[in-house]
A = this chain, B = another copy of it.
C-alpha cells in the first residue's frame, strides 16, 4: 500500500496510526501542504485525489480517500486487531467519538481555513490563534464529557484496546498542545492520550517521526 501523507496533517496521522496498529507496512509518499503553494493542489496529486486533501491510500490500484473511511476499510479488510470492536452500540459510540473530533473540531481548524481567515477576512495571527483555541477547546469539552461520564471508557476511549476513536483523538490533542490550548480541563483525554503515546504504533505515526518532518 502507498500512503500519500504530510507529516503534520492530522488526518494522515490518524491513518498512519491505524496502519501501525494493524501491523501493515506501507510506502509513505510525502505531499507538502505549504511548499510552492501546496503540492496537494498540483496536478500530480489532484489526479490521485481531486479533493486536493491528504491522506489518500492506494491499495493495489484503488485510491481511497477520507481518513475515517480509509480506517474503516482497513478494519474490514484486516480485522485484527479490531478498531471497531464489539456490538452495533459499541461501534456507534466509537464512531461518534471519532466524528466529534473529525467533523466538529478538525475541519474548522484546518490549514486552508486558517489561511482564508487571514487572506479574506484580514484576521490577525492573534485572532487566528483565538479561533483555533475556541473550536478545539469547545470540541474537546464535548469529547471529555462523552468519555468521563461513561463506564465504557477504559484505558482507551472505548474499552481497553485502541479504536478508531483513539486514532482520531491523538492527532487532535497533538495539535491542541502545539497551539497551546488549555488542556487541564480534560483529564480523561490527557490520560488516554498519554497512554496511547507510550505505544509504538502511535509513536511511530507521530509527525516528528516522519521522513518529511521539518
Q: For A52, list chain B residues within 8 Å (CB).
A: 142
Q: Which residues of A contact B (CB under 8 A)?
A: 50-53, 62, 64-66, 68-70, 72-73, 76-77, 88-89, 91-93, 95-96, 98-100, 102-104, 106-108, 113, 116-117, 120-121, 123, 127, 130-131, 134, 142, 145-146, 149
A-B contact pairs, 29 of them (CB 8 A): A50-B142, A50-B146, A50-B149, A51-B100, A51-B104, A51-B142, A51-B146, A53-B104, A53-B142, A62-B89, A64-B92, A64-B93, A65-B100, A65-B146, A66-B100, A66-B103, A68-B95, A68-B99, A69-B93, A72-B95, A73-B89, A73-B91, A76-B91, A77-B88, A99-B102, A103-B106, A117-B121, A120-B130, A120-B134
